[in-house]
Amino acid sequence: MEEDSHSVHFPVRVRGWLRLHSPLVESLVLLRSSGDDEALNALLESRKVKSFRLAWEIWERMLPRGESPATHLTAHLRADLVAACMFGVWGIDTGQEAYPGLRAAESNA
């Protein structure tokens, strides 16, 4: 089965989105770490974060069964950026050390 454009190019789009909106992910990480659920939920309900989350979830469902989203993403992003998104948006702790310098979302190279 041939992958569609969204599935193939999504990791590159995430990198671009992070260049513009990394403060949102940084804030999500900090709020989730602080335990301020009210502020966290308010930010999670923002249009930009909801759109990002939905696009990510759709992309994951489009991947062939058994393929790791992290493998696709870390080909274009540093592992700490992927971990920051997963923790900030979903609360998934990947075991990746802290999330410094999200604004340096240029690449993993």
- pTM of the full predicted structure? 0.80
Distance CA 29, CA 27 (A): 5
What's the pLDDT score for residue 2?
46
Helices (H) and strands (E) in the chain, counts: 5, 0
Q: Is 69 helix (H, G, I), strand (E, B) or coil?
A: helix
Average confidence score pLDDT of the chain? 84
The per-residue pLDDT for range 8-58, each reduced to its tens digit, is 689 999 999 999 999 999 999 999 999 999 999 999 999 999 999 999 999
Percent of the chain at pLDDT > 90 equals: 56
Contact 107, 77 (CB under 8 A): yes
